[in-house]
Amino acid sequence: MGENENERGNSAYGRKPFRRSPSHFTDRITANGAEGWPVEAGRYRLIASRACPWASRAVIARRLLGLEDALSLGIADPLQDDRSWRFTLDPDGRDPVLGIRFLSQAYDARASEYPGGVSVPAVVDVPSGQLVTNDYQQLTLDLATEWTALHRPGAPDLYPAALRAEMDQLMATIGRDLNNGVYKAGFATEQADYERACRALFQCWEQVSQRLAGRRYLMGDTITEADIRLFTTLVRFDVVYHGHFKCNRWKLAEDPVLWAYARDLFQTPGFGDTVDFDHIKRHYYQVHTGINPTRIVALGPDLADWLTPHHREELGGRPFGDGTPPGPVPPGEEASAAGRP
């Protein structure tokens, strides 16, 4: 989930290994509303940060499934303060739909006390202004399986029933050792903890690279949720994780398979058009002051390399299965000009 006040690499960590706070609000929005929140077009607002890999999963899934008209999107400033994610990118510093200045206001409207801080992605009930869920693990799966009545024609099946057992196991390994592994290495305060996390990360890296050497996507010929989860870590790797988090055994650009795979996805509608490298770099380098007290933002790498040929199409495959690519990014949802190659 998005960094909160307990995830900024400061002295609050003490000398304990990094532990990601679990999602506290785990309500689900389902087709039949059995858990209290029914799928309903226009009722909910997805709050995300383009800096956060966990939130970016939801932004990509929403684009691929064509839920833009059904589930509105609010983007928080990549730079937080002690009052949590803020809407200073919007006119008057307020989210134009919810009318709030800080995401914490939606959390406070739901509960007076809650552990784990204020995180993204978050889904807010627009009529009440209350947080519904910050369960980043379940959110995207529900978008794929519970919101089907509101999917665009030609939406891909991101969580195929026949593949779920294998997908769940693969995503759990990638989640533990790669998605979260970069944080365990980056926020380590003991050498042994850092080395343990870094070794596990690159062991998983090698396994994933081998898996992708002969197949275009993690589960075969089509894009699934597993690819979304891997992509959001890979797209940040050389930009921030390699240097800022000391995950520097090698760069993404030094792995021919994973670098080509990441570029293939980046150039696929719904992936790269959601990425904002400016937000990513400013957030990591300027919010994690315990790691980077000078708050200096690194200049590189050259973003134009993301648009170079990848040749993964030679492996065949159908990115959207029997479906079609999503349409253009809706007006007003484009990444910033500074954050695009």
pLDDT digits 0-9 by tens, 192-215: 999 999 999 999 999 999 999 999
Mode of pairing for the β-strands spanning 44-48 and 122-125: antiparallel
Q: What's the CA angle centered on 266, arms 206 and 262, to 5 degrees?
A: 10
pLDDT in tens, 217-230: 999 999 999 999 99
CATH topology for 11-150? Glutaredoxin (3.40.30)
The rounded distance, in Å, linking the Cα atoms of 34 and 78 is 35
Instruction: Enter the tokens of residue 74.
Output: 């609010």
pLDDT at 9 over 50: no
Note whether 11-150 and 162-339 share their fold: no
> Catalytic residue at 52?
yes
Domain chopping of the chain, boundaries = 11-150, 162-339
Q: What is the mean pLDDT of the chain?
A: 94
pLDDT band at 16 (very low <50, low <70, confident <90, very high): low
pLDDT tens-digit map of 33-48: 987 799 999 999 999 9
Exposed e or buried b for every residue in 236-245, given b needs 16+ CB within 10 A? bbbbbbbbbb
pLDDT recorded at residue 47: 98
What 3-state DSSP class applies to 152?
Answer: coil
Rounded to the nearest 5 degrees, what angle is found at the Cα of 250, between the Cα atoms of 244 and 255? 125
CB 97 within 8 A of CB 129: no
pLDDT tens, position by position, 69-106: 999 999 999 999 888 899 999 999 999 999 999 999 99
The domain made up of 162-339 is a member of CATH 1.20.1050.10: yes
Q: How many angstroms separate the CA atoms of 28 and 133, rounded?
A: 7
- Grade residue 11 by pLDDT with cuts at 50, 70 and 90: very low
- Which of 114-118, 125-129, 145-149 is predicted least confidently? 114-118
Global model pTM greater than 0.85: yes
183 catalytic per annotation: yes
CB atoms within 10 A of CB 286: 16
Active-site residue (options: 44, 52, 136, 284): 52
The residue annotated as part of the active site, out of 136, 183, 194, 285, is 183
What pLDDT was estimated at residue 8? 41
- Least confident among 16-30, 56-70, 279-293: 16-30
Whole-number Å distance between alpha carbons of 173 and 169: 6
- State whether residue 87 is helix, strand or coil: coil
Mean pLDDT, rounded, for 289-312:
97
Whether the CB-CB separation of 50 and 121 falls below 8 Å is answered with no
Q: Is 306 annotated as a binding residue?
A: no
Model confidence band, residue 5 (pLDDT cutoffs 50, 70, 90): very low
